[in-house]
């Protein structure tokens, strides 16, 4: 996940640095998506969706965020 996250940071940086409507939309979307991902995770935590052990919760948390990172990498990699 670390490599994918680094790739997303780099791709986003390039898109935002290019400016224009696409860069502006990426910056706004990035913030909204991070807030939504955190709220979704919090709901899972409050309803037992992360399990009841520390290792289970850690694994499910990584899975939750890995899906978001992977989707962003795929989207940003398209030319």
Cβ-based neighbours of 61, under 8 Å, separated by 6 or more: 41, 50
Confidence of residue 79 (pLDDT cuts 50, 70, 90): low
Task: State the pLDDT at residue 20.
Answer: 95
**Per-residue pLDDT tens for 48-60?**
999 989 999 999 9
pTM higher than the cut 0.85: no
State the total domains in the chain. 1
**Per-residue pLDDT tens for 12-55?**
999 999 999 999 999 999 999 999 999 999 999 999 999 989 99
d(CA 51, CA 54): 8
Number of H helices, E strands in the chain: 3, 0
| Range of the structural domain that residue 41 is part of | 2-77
């Amino acid at each position: 996940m670390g490599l994918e996250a680094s790739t997303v940071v780099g791709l986003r940086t390039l898109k935002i640095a290019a400016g224009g409507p696409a860069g502006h939309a990426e910056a706004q979307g990035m913030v909204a998506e991070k807030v939504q991902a955190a709220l979704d995770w919090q709901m899972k935590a409050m309803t037992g969706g992360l399990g009841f052990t520390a290792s289970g919760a850690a694994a499910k948390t990584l899975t939750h965020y890995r899906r978001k990172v992977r989707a962003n990498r795929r989207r940003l990699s398209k030319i």
